[in-house]
Structure 1
Amino acid sequence: MRAHSTLTRRLLASTMPVALLLSLGTAPGRADPMIGSTLNSYGLPGGIDTPTAEMLPDATLGATIAYSDLARRNSIVFQALPRLTVALRYSRVDSTEESRGFIWDRSFDVRYQFLDEDPNGWRPAVAVGLQDFMGTGIFGAEYFVASKTITPRLRVSAGLGWGRLAQQGSIGSIGDRPDPDDQEGGKPNIDQWFRGDVAPFINATWQATDKLYLTAEYSGDSYACETGDAENCQRAVWLSDGDKLKNRFNLGLTYQIGANYQVKGYVLGAKQVGFQFSVAMDPRQAPFPSGLEKAPAPVRPRVAQNVDPEGWSGAWSADPTAQPAIQKVLGEALSKEGQVLESMALDANRAEVRIRNHRYIQQAEAIGRTARLMTRALPPSVETLVITSSEDGVPTSSVTLRRSDVERLENSEAGQIAAAAVVTDADPRPGNLIYSQDLFPRFRWGLKPYLSTSLFDPDEPFRYEIGAELLGEYELLPGLILSGSVRQRAFGNQEQEGPGNLTPDEYEAQGEDVNENGVPRVRSDGRMYQGNKSPTIPRLTLAWYAKPTETVYSRVTVGLLERAYGGVSGEVLWWPVNSPLAFGAEINRVKKRDFRDVFGFRDYEVTTGHISAYYEFSNGITAQLDVGKYLAGDKGATVSLSREFANGWRVGAWATKTDLSAEDFGEGSFDKGVEISIPLGWGTGQPSLRRVGGNIRSLSRDGGSRLRVDGRLYDTVRDSHSGQLYQGWGRFWR
């Protein structure tokens, strides 16, 4: 087959980025994408090793562990959009060329379904995919695949594959596929995409019973590297000595356990036996869909005017004891709801309260419960209810409701009260607001266990540390907060260790903290901050939050900002409450903290800063761009995408590229990773603002590293801005 021109190859290489952009704006009226029933060994919908054009239900988050003598694959898959599937994988491959006898390899996949199946006609669903499209590329492949439902229980998929899917059975080639050993780890292997030998594959899955699926496939993957086939492996340094497959046919059996789990057994090429366990869940479906929180107090309709003529006339407002009494009663009622009545303004026709929500993951639920309690506490002449959300002493948004609407719509759908509500920027001026008595200064503390983890180290893929953490917060004035934490390790396999497995003394004896390329070690010596047997102070700061104008927020934080750095951090954010677009700027002057002395510092200090832009799409997706200078002195940009659901689940990914060369950056070439954040209340059914989860990144490198400051403004105020409010408005009447 004639080699394609450079332009054609570039067009092929850009297929997936273009698909991603198209998927963000999926046209209305299109049929739902074809949904798969089983996951393959790479963790995506498919046969055994081969892909299909199937998707998972939108927002599904899944994980797969697949084991055979030829490979061990651990995958996380996320249906980021209805037609876009992404996966992160960490695999162990045996190798005779490695001193430890094996290799741990990270890989990323993406698949986009660009054509729907016609259930009443001949047209199949069609998808394009990139497998292991950046990094070492040991599993690297590209494919076009079509899937068609033959009968309600039988589905067949066929396609053309490159790379790993064309190690045998080639029907031609498109140019030459570059030697993968020449690729730089961690970078998209664009020059390889859809190049080299191309081979067909086919798979069929038959649903034998409601829970049992039988799969057969014809694959071009011969497991060349894993069986020592140097001619087809193209990765001679990774050769292994597994038994070669006898043919190209794979057979599998999958059993569904409940709604979320699958077990699979399979045979590769009539020679190798494998096993697989998969779990998949929809984050939007909670174990306790309605929650287990106590029902709110019902709305109290006002009595007739002739029953309480003084209350309706507003004459009560002339009594100087009226507001303090009402404010005290309302504050006590809100306290039982896990909220703080910060301040209140009251006259004959209007009442404004500023509340702090300490319980509900959706601010709309806190506002709804507050509105109910206001109908019970306020005299009948008060018609206008203004509920202002306050975060760290700073007013963010105000929701204005007519009391008559609250009374009228209590038993209607939440959309009606949402249409009746008016959301505006909160006025930063105190006006005639009166703070609740004995609110400031205010001290809170807590004691909880902590778990610190580290992933993807080839010598120890999972490191952990478990201990106790004491947290405290002392709010001197509204917006002026002294806070910190103390940790005491109990046990774990995280040990204090310098880069290159140096002991702490050996590493400190080197003096300056720079790597072999002269790049400051701002993160790659992170294990020097772990494994301390004595108490540590991860954070001890004094922060001041303010709101200079209705749409501008500010923050200044000084102290021990994180475990590795101390100094001063300043930030401003422009964000109108009803705007999907926000802009921010941050500057930090920090010094590296000592590895052992919790109040000591090392010699390295740096000024960093970023200009940021944020945009919230209507489907729960937030895009963020940060441009500026990082901790190692490198300059560049970070692009982040995240998707958050109404119940608080958040899944995202980011990538950072700076002016550091791939050689100076080291393995991985540039920084990237994924984030998973799960609200604790999702699993327990009890309302809580606490979350579990964190960042999953391939390696801790020095390039593209930012300061980890608690309380950044965008995350602080976003829950009470209109985008998040309306996403969670369904819980207003909860």
Structure 2
Amino acid sequence: MRAHSTLTRRLLASTVPVALLLGLGVSPGLADPLIGTKFNSYGLPGGIDTPTAEMLPDATLSATLNYSDLARKNALVFQILPRLTVALRYARFDSQANGVSQSRDYIWDRSFDLRYQFLDENPNGWMPAVAIGLQDFMGTGYYSAEYLVATKTINPRLRVSAGLGWGRLAQSGDIGSPFGDRPGPDEEEGGKPNTDQWFKGDMAPFVSATWQATEKLALTAEYSGDNYACETGIAEDCARDVWLSDKDELKNHINLGASYQWGQNYQLGAYLLGGRQLGLQFSVAMDSSQAPYPSGIEKAPAPVRPRPSPSADPEGWSGAWSADPTAQPAIQKVLSDALDKEGQTLESMSLDANRAEVRIRNRRYMQHSQAIGRTARLMTRALPPSVETLVITTSADGLPTSSVTVRRSDVERLENSEAGQIAAAAQLTDADPRPGNLTFTEGLFPRFSWAVKPYLSTSIFDPDEPFRYEIGAEAVAEYEFTPGLVVSGTVRQRVLGTTEQEGPGSLSAEEYEALDTDYASNGVPRVRSDSRMYSGNDSPTIPRLTLAWYAKPTETVYSRVTVGLLERAYGGASTEVLWWPTNSSLALGAELNRVKKRDFRDVFGFRDYEVTTGHVSAYYQFTDGIRAQLDVGQYLAGDKGATITVERQFANGWRVGAWASKTDLSDEDFGEGSFDKGVSISIPLGWGTGEPSLRRVGGDIRSLSRDGGSKLRVDGRLYDKVRDSQSGQLYQGWGRFWR
């Protein structure tokens, strides 16, 4: 228990400053942050090796590949808030440390960075922008450093930065240790916030200057306290044992570099470290708020059709048509066909003389507000003039989620106004779960759909191999008996790839199967550490085959029951309930699963390991698209603990987040990494193509795949199914109502 409490204190020590940064990052009173355009070797705005106080434009995602004879650094950087930059780095360096494969003499190491700009530059005065940063603050500590840096624009072509650094930035030229000695890194487990090292040990100055020689060419010079002691073999206390000593020691601490901006998104760079070591760098940056096709390239919606005057259509205005039993079926058929061309499914409809309600499934538009807006337009064209109240209910695969009620006269009056006006005129409420007098569209259920398409499965940031992939074909099928009751499955056939079936550690697949156990030597169940045993099969596999039932017992409660082959590694039963009022920022949920581990090759076979897992969850939607989630419960390995997730979603559909799980497994039992953590990126396909689509690309990036803190992967979890039609997401994208 002592190890647990130590780590808990470390987690608290790291969580508090990060929470403060997040809170400050959304403060409305601050001016725009200082923006940088040049990337340093760590992938962040900076000099060559040294940091600056600059930020990237908000929501920018960048990737940097850096190569020199001393190291290879690959960085993924995201400007998650206007003043908060986060980085995930994957670097290779020479080593013969314990655990390195005998077939190679290097290590691929993962590290995380944070940078926060807390003071603005005054362009008309002497005040510079000032930032604080943590480099490799939760890894093995090989690149660990902390810094306080200021940046000032001298003139439109010249910027100068100066700061104080610790750790890697103070290997030479130190001016003292004002905050005490710096302890050595935790080489055994790593992956923990090394809070006891922050701003400890020697402190040294650094300075850089960047001159914009031309519109595209920038020249940089800097003084750095990093003398690459480990890489050149001159240090004796490196974070990793270094055995190669044939690297040339740097002549001095002056670095020189040049970078060339190639187009709007690409940057090429070259630099000379310490007068001796040459390096090359390539960076690409995408501003997620600046889509290649900002307005999309979909067809324009049908215009609103104004109603004729009462004198021109007295029968339509009188409502007498509603007494005709053939009226609604005819109108519903016309509206259903029109909606289908817009990528919407008219699930059901009710109609009387003054009010019409439709329940639609959005099959095309990332922003549900766009689907609602196009539906409202078509309703003005299909309904008799006496119908004034329009109710558009979103159905998430049979689950009625939210209802937008708007007056037809407002739709007619506000068509050419900005979307905020129709938002103010509309009313968003919880959808009534009762069918009432709704009539299903004829011939819609039961419904069968299928598709055959290629698939690409990738694995990155592996400590043994940077990139693994598998390419093949998959067939997906779905049969919906009635709304909410559906059978679905996927069959895959591998064609080629570098991902092979392997046991954990250095065991081959055959050696691992011969052990006939699902437990590691320390007694921890292998629930994810043998996941490669499910990869690389040449015969067809069935990743998923389930029967799911979705229901809405009350206006604010949703439920799900799923049975079958839930994911590639587990089968069984999963149940879930979610309480989420449409206009609430808070949602509460609970999930309970009983699952058994699937066989590695036999698609319908099972192994002996069986477990009950589940969580209670709280979700909260903050402003600026920021969402926080807390899950508390039991994980697949039987360990108990909690997971915290923070995610930001932008109006264009981009989602970027991070999570961390801590359970009652000790650091030693968990293994390298100490606890489960990672980042997630989800990019709407339509953002890049301009074509409306619900498809996304991206996934999770975790530092290591371990057994502690592992969750079941179940398709159709309620929060994800419902979230896009709730008030937070709906109003965030309301600007596309008239698009």
1:230–1:299: structure 2 CA closer, same or farther, 3 Å change rule?
same
- The match for 1:299 among 289, 300, 304 is 304
Report the equivalent of 2:6.
none
Map 1:90-239; keep pairs closer than 5 Å: 90-95=90-95, 99=102, 100-173=104-177, 174-181=179-186, 184-231=189-236, 233=238, 235-237=240-242
Q: Is structure 2 residue 672 aligned with structure 1 residue 667?
A: yes
Deviations 1:250-279 (A, max 9, x none): 001011011111001000000000000001
- The match for 1:244 among 244, 249, 253 is 249
Count of residue correspondences: 725
Where 1:416 maps in the other structure, the secondary structure is helix
Name the CA distance, whole Å, in 2 between partners of 1:376 and 1:383.
13
Report the equivalent of 2:632.
627
Residue 136 of structure 1 aligns with an amino acid whose one-letter code is T
Where 1:364 maps in the other structure, the secondary structure is helix
Deviations 1:383-429 (A, max 9, x none): 00000000111100000010000001111111111111100000000
CA RMSD of aligned residues (A): 1.5
Name the CA distance, whole Å, in 2 between partners of 1:89 and 1:538.
31
Shift of 1:455: 2.0
Name the CA distance, whole Å, in 1 between partners of 2:251 and 2:506.
43
Cα pair 2:158 2:211 within 8 Å, conserved: yes
Cα pair 2:140 2:239 within 8 Å, conserved: no
- The match for 1:618 among 618, 623, 626 is 623
- The match for 1:434 among 429, 439, 443 is 439
Name the CA distance, whole Å, in 1 between partners of 2:520 and 2:256.
49
Where 1:719 maps in the other structure, the secondary structure is helix
Where 2:519 maps in the other structure, the secondary structure is coil
Unaligned runs of at least 5 residues, structure 2: 1-9
Deviations 1:571-590 (A, max 9, x none): 00000000011000000000
Deviations 1:459-479 (A, max 9, x none): 322111000010000000110
Name the stretch that deviates more: 234-243 or 300-309.
Answer: 234-243
Shift of 1:354: 0.3
Cα pair 1:23 1:84 within 8 Å, conserved: no
Where 2:259 maps in the other structure, the secondary structure is strand
Deviations 1:136-189 (A, max 9, x none): 110000000011111111111100000000000011113111112556310011
Shift of 1:36: 0.7
Report the equivalent of 2:357.
352
1:591–1:235: structure 2 CA closer, same or farther, 3 Å change rule?
closer
1:14–1:405: structure 2 CA closer, same or farther, 3 Å change rule?
closer
Cα pair 1:47 1:217 within 8 Å, conserved: yes
Name the CA distance, whole Å, in 1 between partners of 2:140 and 2:264.
35
Deviations 1:629-679 (A, max 9, x none): 000000011111111111111111111111001100011100011111111
- Over the matched positions of the two proteins, sequence identity in percent amounts to 78
Report the equivalent of 2:369.
364
1:232–1:500: structure 2 CA closer, same or farther, 3 Å change rule?
closer
Shift of 1:12: 9.7
Report the equivalent of 1:5.
none
1:95–1:183: structure 2 CA closer, same or farther, 3 Å change rule?
closer
1:433–1:10: structure 2 CA closer, same or farther, 3 Å change rule?
closer
Name the stretch that deviates more: 89-98 or 204-213.
Answer: 89-98
Map 1:577-726; keep pairs closer than 5 Å: 577-726=582-731
Residue 61 of structure 1 aligns with an amino acid whose one-letter code is L
Name the stretch that deviates more: 454-463 or 431-440.
Answer: 454-463
Where 2:163 maps in the other structure, the secondary structure is strand
Deviations 1:114-155 (A, max 9, x none): 111111111111111000001211000000001111111111
Map 1:279-298; keep pairs closer than 5 Å: 279-298=284-303
Map 1:567-582; keep pairs closer than 5 Å: 567-582=572-587
1:699–1:638: structure 2 CA closer, same or farther, 3 Å change rule?
same
Where 1:701 maps in the other structure, the secondary structure is coil
Where 1:44 maps in the other structure, the secondary structure is coil
Cα pair 2:95 2:240 within 8 Å, conserved: no
Cα pair 2:348 2:360 within 8 Å, conserved: yes
Name the CA distance, whole Å, in 1 between partners of 2:22 and 2:275.
42
Name the CA distance, whole Å, in 1 between partners of 2:548 and 2:18.
41
Cα pair 1:212 1:255 within 8 Å, conserved: yes
Name the CA distance, whole Å, in 2 between partners of 1:443 and 1:122.
68
Map 1:541-560; keep pairs closer than 5 Å: 541-560=546-565
Where 1:196 maps in the other structure, the secondary structure is coil
Report the equivalent of 2:30.
30
Report the equivalent of 2:427.
422
Residue 40 of structure 1 aligns with an amino acid whose one-letter code is N
Name the CA distance, whole Å, in 1 between partners of 2:130 and 2:353.
65
Deviations 1:468-499 (A, max 9, x none): 01000000011000000000000001111111
Where 1:500 maps in the other structure, the secondary structure is coil
Shift of 1:515: 1.1
Residue 116 of structure 1 aligns with an amino acid whose one-letter code is D
Unaligned runs of at least 5 residues, structure 1: 1-8
Name the CA distance, whole Å, in 2 between partners of 1:520 and 1:617.
37
Residue 72 of structure 2 aligns with an amino acid whose one-letter code is R
Name the CA distance, whole Å, in 2 between partners of 1:297 and 1:420.
21
1:16–1:219: structure 2 CA closer, same or farther, 3 Å change rule?
farther
Shift of 1:11: 12
Where 2:387 maps in the other structure, the secondary structure is coil
Name the CA distance, whole Å, in 1 between partners of 2:724 and 2:137.
35
Name the CA distance, whole Å, in 2 between partners of 1:151 and 1:238.
46
Shift of 1:231: 4.2
Q: Is structure 2 residue 68 aligned with structure 1 residue 68?
A: yes
Residue 53 of structure 1 aligns with an amino acid whose one-letter code is A
Cα pair 1:468 1:489 within 8 Å, conserved: yes
- The match for 1:337 among 331, 336, 342 is 342
Where 1:146 maps in the other structure, the secondary structure is strand
Name the CA distance, whole Å, in 2 between partners of 1:645 and 1:89.
24
Name the CA distance, whole Å, in 2 between partners of 1:412 and 1:252.
51
Shift of 1:280: 0.8
Q: Is structure 2 residue 40 aligned with structure 1 residue 40?
A: yes
1:711–1:11: structure 2 CA closer, same or farther, 3 Å change rule?
closer
- The match for 1:509 among 500, 509, 514 is 514
Name the CA distance, whole Å, in 1 between partners of 2:225 and 2:16.
23
Name the CA distance, whole Å, in 2 between partners of 1:10 and 1:661.
14
Residue 273 of structure 1 aligns with an amino acid whose one-letter code is L
Residue 33 of structure 1 aligns with an amino acid whose one-letter code is P
1:610–1:519: structure 2 CA closer, same or farther, 3 Å change rule?
same
Shift of 1:502: 2.3
Report the equivalent of 1:17.
18
Where 1:499 maps in the other structure, the secondary structure is coil
Name the CA distance, whole Å, in 1 between partners of 2:60 and 2:591.
35
Residue 79 of structure 2 aligns with an amino acid whose one-letter code is Q
Residue 486 of structure 1 aligns with an amino acid whose one-letter code is V
Q: Is structure 2 residue 75 aligned with structure 1 residue 87?
A: no
Cα pair 2:33 2:117 within 8 Å, conserved: yes
Cα pair 1:181 1:235 within 8 Å, conserved: no
Where 1:287 maps in the other structure, the secondary structure is coil
Name the CA distance, whole Å, in 2 between partners of 1:468 and 1:236.
44
Where 1:295 maps in the other structure, the secondary structure is coil
Shift of 1:234: 5.7
Cα pair 2:188 2:672 within 8 Å, conserved: no
Cα pair 1:484 1:540 within 8 Å, conserved: yes
Residue 347 of structure 1 aligns with an amino acid whose one-letter code is D
- The match for 2:451 among 421, 425, 446 is 446
